[in-house]
Amino acid sequence: MNDPTVHLTQLGQRADLPASPDAAALETVPNPHTGSLYVVRFTAPEFTSLCPVTGQPDFAHIVIDYVPRDLLVESKSLKLYLGAFRNHGAFHEDCTVAIGKRLDATLNPHWLRIGGYWYPRGGMPIDVFFAVGDLPHGLWVPEQGVAPYRGRG
């Protein structure tokens, strides 16, 4: 990237997984199309965290959609941030909403939504959804595309 105002510390070099989500650096780059409304989607189908009570792993399919203003999240930093939940103990609701709030605070998007489609533990899947802002009129946003849990049926 040739923009002298962009300072990325993780892209293009080895970066260890952060010790916690709070310790993770979410880096941004300027949106090169600030005059256009468009949707950015990130999908993390193998997201993991830990149950804060039992310490057992929890798994989710996370889908993040946002309409950027001035900034885009740099994808490697997002991957490292999401990976930092691997050893983090929190309930499904906390993980999903915390990711949404952190991205909102970092990016100040026109609109953001996150779907956390958690795989069942104890026989019950938990899906958590968080959104901020208003979807700009006329902007096409596809469904998140995660099939509801059907078990063996």
**Active-site residue (options: 3, 16, 22, 51):** 51
Q: Does 58 qualify as catalytic in the annotation? A: yes
**Active-site residue (options: 3, 16, 22, 58):** 58
Q: Does 127 qualify as catalytic in the annotation? A: no
Q: Does 74 show up as a binding residue in the annotation?
A: yes
Least Cα distance to 82 among 132, 13, 7, 18 occurs for: 18
Name the helix (H) or strand (E) containing 50. strand 40-50
Q: Does 92 show up as a binding residue in the annotation?
A: yes
Phi-psi region of 110 (alpha: psi -120 to 50; beta: other; left: phi over 0): alpha
Phi-psi region of 28 (alpha: psi -120 to 50; beta: other; left: phi over 0): beta
Q: Does 39 show up as a binding residue in the annotation?
A: no
Sequence ranges of the binding site: 73-75, 92-93
Sequence ranges of the binding site for substrate: 73-75, 92-93
The residues carrying an active-site annotation are 51, 58
